[in-house]
Chain A
Amino acid sequence: MPRNPEPREQPKARDRRGRPKGRAVDPQALAEIRTLLEDAPRNRDSLIEHLHQIQDQYGYLSAKHLVALAAELGLATTEVYEVATFYHHFDVIKEGQTPPPPLTIRVCDSISCELAGAEALITALDKAPGSGARIQRVPCVGRCAEAPVAIVGQNPVDHATADGVQELVKSGATQASTPPAIRYDRYRAEGGYALLRNVHAAAATGASGSDAGTDLSGERIMTVLEDSKLRGLGGAGFPTGRKWRILRDQPGPRLMAINIDEGEPGTFKDRHFLETDPHRFIEGMLIAAEVVDVAEIYIYLRDEYAGIRALLEQELDALRADPPCPLRPFHLRRGAGAYICGEESAMIESLEGKRGMPRLRPPYVAEVGLFGHPTLEHNMETLYWVRDLLERGPDWFASQGRNGRSGLRAFSVSGRVRKPGVHLAPAGISLRELIDEFCDGMLEGHTLYGYFPGGASGGILPASLADLPLDFDTLQPHGCFIGSAAIIVLSQHDSARQAALNAMRFFQHESCGQCTPCREGTAKAARLMQATTWDQPLLEDLCTVMTDASICGLGQAAPNPLQCVMKYFPRELTDGQHG
């Protein structure tokens, strides 16, 4: 039992004489906060946006600014503090603590980057002569195909080297560049938003016809979605058409929440689509809003995607400035460094300005979601396909697929392949086919050893199972799932055990801390997995309680890689060998 540190002693009551209990609001800090927020709404749900503003302006969140912000929003100081300390992109600095340097270099240490030498990069950067910047390990930043990755300020560096990073620091290139996407004018010029206009007209008039003569009623659109068998592409795979139908039957006002908190290690497909054709997603989103008749739309974008945020802000402004038809109100909200906010109900909590702690279900977010209203929540990619499905027809999508499966999947492939990246491939394709046909095979000198089929939480399969069809529902019998279709390929040079430990540390870091099995389980598992010899019966027990009794998917899936190591890679546990 470790010894407890020295207790915090009783203060002299006379130190407080004349002061009310607790922290007083510093008038200057309050004035600064008011200046900064200008006429921004003082609602609770804006809290995280306000914290971003302070962090951006001052480089950190000082105690007196937090107290002033709490006063300004009419919140208890602890409500602001507990939110600020939940999200890793906020630096809370109390009296006597040193504020961070102006520049932070974030280095991804998740699986793909670790495979590509993140540790060596971090060591080199730590040793490099003082640029004054802070070197911070961070979980997956969604650039796994370009591993290892560092982010200098907000500027991502692909295939990062210590020298390359230092170069950027010296030149002050710390801003993200805006991706070369199809912009609003071009998208419209090429026929974009005509569909939305027609859907809107059909909805507004109640007529089913359109100027093109096709039926664009909500009913038909939902049927198209159902016929296409499009499922939610965030990972859970709920049938899209059915979701819209459920929501349409809920009492108004209904809201819509778009999840672009892409954070599953190995996943970068949403980034890919947004960086290339953002309006295809936006049009899909607005069509969904028409069909389901939602009152307002909230888009939740992970904070790591600074370039995309700039792009989306510009494009949404362009859309607002010249709308193809009356638009439903939408809001772009910024995440703050919390993987758990990719969980649908945690994201809703975060949109409400709270700690991103998943809610217990029932009730489901379709019934009681954002601000207590029925909420249509979608992964961004799901909506990206709506326009294509309506224009090309459901069969175009449904007829694709392989090995008895149907549809298209955007695979995020990283690891030991020659051509990593987002590969649009038939659903049901096997890993071997994917590597051979889309990735130009394995890297020179690497042979297939195993793979993560669905990011860190999807488990690890051995090379012997490389011919399974990759799709929803096909991997569960093997203790895995496809999730967001993030494939990380391991070779004979890699250790499944090490990869599983990396994954467990990630879950420990990202657990919201709400329920016992996940909070205690991820931490204790990560410790037990560092032992030379694993206590497998104890780890098995731990996996059971995490899977069976955690509140949300994070805790339930966190044991997958660990269990797969015990199941598929037992040699690594007995003789320390692999490959």
Chain B
Amino acid sequence: MASMADSPTIAFTLDGEAMTAFRGETLLGAAKRHGVAIPQLCAKDGLRPDGNCRACVVEIEGERVLAPSCCRQPSEGMVAHSSNERARKSQRLVVELLKADMPDTAHNLQNELDDWANFLQVGKSRFPAREQPAADISHPAIAVNLDACIRCTRCLRACREEQVNGVIGYARRGDEASIVFDLEDPLGTSSCVGCGECVQACPTGALMPAGGVGLEAPQRSVDSVCPYCGVGCQLTYHVRDNRILHVSGRDGPANQGRLCVKGRYGFDYVHNRGRLTVPLIRRDDAPKRAELGLDPDNPYADFREATWEEAMACAAGGLKTIRDTHGADALAGFGSAKGSNEEAYLFQKLVRTGFGTNNVDHCTRLCHASSVVALLEMIGSGAVSNPVRDAVHADVIFIIGSNTTVNHPVAATFLKNEVGKGKTLIVLDPRRTPIAEHATHYLQFKPDTDVALLNALMHAVIEQGLVDQAFVDSRTSGYAELAEHLKPYTPEKMAPICGIDAATIREVARIYAGAAASIIFWGMGISQHVHGTDNSRALISLALMSGQIGRPGTGLHPLRGQNNVQGASDVGLIPMVFPDYQRVDDPEIRARFEKLWGQALDPNPGLTVVEIMHAVTAADPARRIRGMYIMGENPAMSDPNLNHARAALSKLEHLVVQDIFMTETAWYADVILPASAFPEKTGSFTNTDRRVQLGRQALATPGQARQDLEIIIDMARRLGLDWRYQGPPDVFSEMRQAMPSIAGISWERLEEQGSVTYPCESEADPGQPVIFIDDFPTADGRAHFVPAPFTNADELPDDAYPWVLITGRLLEHWHTGSMTRRASVLDRIEPDPVAMLHPDDLSRLGARIGEPIQLSSRRGSITAFAGADPGLQPGQVFLPFCYHEAAANLLTNAALDPAAKIPEFKFCALQVAAA
């Protein structure tokens, strides 16, 4: 690729004009830079040039035949012609040949072939047409009309080389050659993951969004970011009549134009008829019940419509009464990692100043709380050390407990790209997930034995003399204790425990520690255990002792789940810290915030998510939580041991839920406030890489639904706070005062650059993607080793419950499914709850694929359909938690990690029977 850092130095002549090209730049690229248009069809920025269409051929003096300008690089003194008679003749004939085979009816509004035909003044083709292939409308998201295919293979390169999904092939040969999916299967039954990169790449409409939306002209295109995972892909909404027609990927720093199926096709939840559009108040004759009775056909049965004034008066009044009667600690709030930084900041400030308590938390507690606790404890910062795309500088990529292609699909594409360049990918996971297919080393260890394996790896690093002693001496403390602690964890002793042989443990240790640069990624397979903090501690120690941190291509990257879980945590939506992780129990810090916010603050850390649910049912009335304000979270689906969580919700004296849908949680509410969906608001969002990015409003809110920020401000005023924020920029400028990490980011800068990485301490600071280069943000500047002992899960399998339940997510469905189950394309692809078992287990049980099976734990029982996944180990069951009709969390164990209070979603004992 062209290295644009230098100045263009290669002098050549094109069409009689003297030009200069960068080293590595193509003729086509250099021509474009000089304002010369050369027809191009198979060439597309971001894809490897292939030179197959020959529309861009040029005459190079001294050469026998024409050359494709997309693949040829200018050489010093080259004389080329793109518009002389010879070059133009071939360009025209190429376009005329392809036009002969185009269908009469177009599938899109703008066809690149037609554009170039117009440019070259090619009229109706004189050549006979081909036999046209059948359309393939078998996929819910993508329409395949190969009658418009010019076989340029842009889709193939997008699928195989960019996204590395390997679905699209080019079969047969000559004029029989064709774009195919898998074994020439219908797209809808192929292995297609629906990322739509092929659609974005297609120049002629042969691949288009389903349903003919490509033939409707958008009125507006709004640049925003994706509302789903923490990768933070930038995208553009194409809007007509206040409806999103389709979505395209934008060239953002985290996604480079790429999207996944959720980001590209999961947008129509905003138009779902189940959107809340009117405030609702619980009917007097509808008392709360513990067991979820939400009827999808009649979801509002227990509620009546209200005016905003009545609803807000009721919502705020109920909270105020509890506060004034039982004290601030009788209240709690759950904010949302789906909302903006501004919303999260105001929400926690409302709870801390309006309620007067630190009982504020959000779903970070359920995903990476343990990672954050360990990171804060050991290296003084809870965020990632290096961005995902720093993998480009790594030699070894180490992924543990992360189903990356499913949960961070676009991040995974960049990691797969690196493997394609020949780098080493080590994947460690009890469940063989799709990323393992790309691994050079895959370690399928036994569930629950992370610490045993990681300690053995560290033992092997020491034993093989691969400790970075200089780094350990100058940058860390506590190594001697760790080394002592690790002595008994020999690979031989750990092998039978974790199921990985000693030689492999030694090899992986050698590869990781011995590489010039190794980077670690982890997901909820590490964090969601009662020993989640110990798992993370072991990982951090491994990186520290190997000196694999503080440089490009190294470091620790817990892949963050929600689109704004990083930001929500940063702005203090957690019970023990103010914005920027400043502890509430530190008097000096508290004094600073009391000054900023103008009132006295609660000095005690508040309760966490699961603790709050337990406090609702506390026996001691003095310690009972009686009222809650829940914004955009769904604990009635996402908490462990749902029967308890739901019972707790039903016992609340006053519950205010602010959401866009009638969620399972809203069903327990006293007041429901209809709010704004992601594309209906503007705000800043912080991705897993610490990039602060701007989401922009593309749609008006439906009906009477209001902006979340407005609702929070209204609530605050009704609780007696004199808040006068005019909108997100106002809130953001206050956040900058509270948070040194983003002091250098102004709202204007965000609008201009779209993405700024923190720490960004001043307006001159470009942002720091790689941190800990010189020191760690701890009191002494050193990282601190914390030894992690090997312990077991809270509930081990036994004779009564002999199976292990692992919960998690699906590619198509986001968390509790409140958005994606209402996104038509996504729900059509994955409509049913399926429990995955090893195929041998299925036969042993006498269960058939697709038939119902019964799953029971000590806490609950559900029925799901049986599925076969040879990536599981026998005895394991995987169940996604997005299906209300088979809610996985009815089964899970609410046991908590003692340090982080994260529940053990990844392990509980289970009984399975054919239903």
Binding site for B on A (CB under 8 A): 1-11, 13-14, 16-25, 27, 63, 66-67, 74-79, 81-82, 85-86, 92, 94, 338, 340, 355, 360, 508-517, 519-524, 527-528, 535, 538, 541-542, 544-545, 547-551, 556
Contacts and interface: CB of A to CB of B under 8 A. Distances in A.
Closest 4 CB pairs of A and B: A22-B191, A76-B166, A513-B177, A78-B169
Interface in B176-221: 176-177, 180-186, 188-193
B866 A18 contact: yes
A13 B832 CA distance: 9
Contacts of B828: 13
Interface in B799-838: 828-832, 834
A561 to B, nearest CB: 17
Interface stretch (B65-73, B291-299, B335-343): B65-73
A338 B754 CA distance: 52
Nearest to A92: B183
Contacts of A517: 54, 90, 93-94, 97
B192 A21 contact: yes
Contacts of A340: 173
Interface of B: 51-55, 57, 65-66, 68, 71, 86, 89-90, 93-94, 97-98, 100-101, 103-104, 126-140, 147, 150-151, 160, 166-177, 180-186, 188-193, 437, 828-832, 834, 839, 849-850, 865-870
A548 B66 contact: yes
A79 B191 CA distance: 13
B53 A19 contact: no
A542 B89 CA distance: 10
Contact of B54 (A10, A20, A516, A528): A516
Contacts of A516: 52-55, 94, 97-98, 150-151
A538 B127 CA distance: 8
Given A77-B191, A78-B180, A544 B93 contact: yes
Given A7-B137, A23-B183, A81-B182, 14 more contacts: A1-B103, A8-B186, A10-B138, A13-B832, A18-B849, A20-B867, A22-B185, A22-B190, A76-B182, A77-B191, A340-B173, A360-B71, A510-B174, A521-B97
A519 B183 contact: no
A17 B834 contact: yes
A479 to B, nearest CB: 14
Given A4-B132, A516-B94, A549 B57 contact: yes
Contacts of A10: 137-140, 188
A81 B189 contact: no
Contacts of B135: 4, 7-8
A528 B128 CA distance: 8
Given A86-B173, A360-B71, A516-B54, A8 B128 contact: no
Contact of B138 (A11, A17, A94, A550): A11
A76 B160 contact: yes
Contacts of A20: 867-869
B132 A2 contact: yes
Contacts of B190: 21-22
Given A77-B191, A516-B97, A24 B868 contact: yes
6 contacts: A1-B104, A3-B132, A17-B849, A78-B169, A78-B180, A81-B182
A8 B137 contact: yes
B834 A86 contact: no
Contacts of B182: 22-23, 76-78, 81
Given A17-B865, A78-B182, A549 B66 contact: yes
B171 A85 contact: yes
B52 A78 contact: no
Given A360-B51, A513-B177, A522-B175, A66 B183 contact: yes
A515 B174 CA distance: 9
Nearest to B164: A76
B352 to A, nearest CB: 46
Nearest to B853: A18
B491 to A, nearest CB: 27
B171 A81 contact: yes
Contacts of A8: 134-138, 186, 188
A519 to B, nearest CB: 6
A77 B171 CA distance: 12
A512 to B, nearest CB: 5
Nearest to A74: B437
A545 B93 contact: yes
> Which of A13, A508, A511: most chain B CB closer than 10 A?
A13
A513 B150 CA distance: 11
Contacts of A544: 89-90, 93
A547 B65 contact: yes
A336 B843 CA distance: 41
Given A21-B193, A513-B175, A5 B130 contact: no
A546 to B, nearest CB: 9
A550 B64 CA distance: 12
A569 B185 CA distance: 47
A75 B93 CA distance: 37
A77 B134 CA distance: 22
A355 B177 CA distance: 11
Nearest to A552: B65
Contacts of B129: 1-2
A78 B175 contact: no
Contacts of A541: 89, 93
A513 B138 contact: no
Contacts of A523: 130, 174-175
B94 A513 contact: no
Contacts of B53: 515-516
Contacts of A535: 126
A515 B126 CA distance: 19
Given A8-B186, A548-B86, A17 B134 contact: no
Nearest to A71: B437
Contacts of B131: 2
A292 to B, nearest CB: 27
Given A2-B131, A14-B832, A548-B86, A519 B93 contact: no
> Which of A338, A508, A513, A522: most chain B CB closer than 10 A?
A513
A545 B174 contact: no
Nearest to B104: A1
Contact of A542 (B93, B147, B186, B829): B93
Nearest to A21: B191
Given A7-B134, A23-B191, A519 B51 contact: no
Contacts of A520: 97-98, 100-101, 127, 175
Contacts of B866: 18
Contacts of B839: 27
Nearest to A514: B52
Nearest to A84: B171
A265 to B, nearest CB: 16
A522 B829 CA distance: 41
Contacts of B865: 17-18
A513 B834 contact: no
Nearest to A5: B134
Contacts of B57: 548-549
A428 to B, nearest CB: 24
Contacts of B829: 13
A4 B147 contact: yes
Contacts of B191: 21-23, 76-77
Contact of B68 (A360, A513, A556): A360
A75 to B, nearest CB: 8
Contacts of A14: 831-832, 850
A104 to B, nearest CB: 19
A545 B868 CA distance: 53
A512 B52 CA distance: 11
A13 B831 contact: yes
A541 to B, nearest CB: 6
A67 B133 contact: no
Nearest to A66: B183
Contacts of A4: 103, 132-135, 147
B177 A519 contact: yes
Given A515-B53, A516-B53, A19 B867 contact: yes
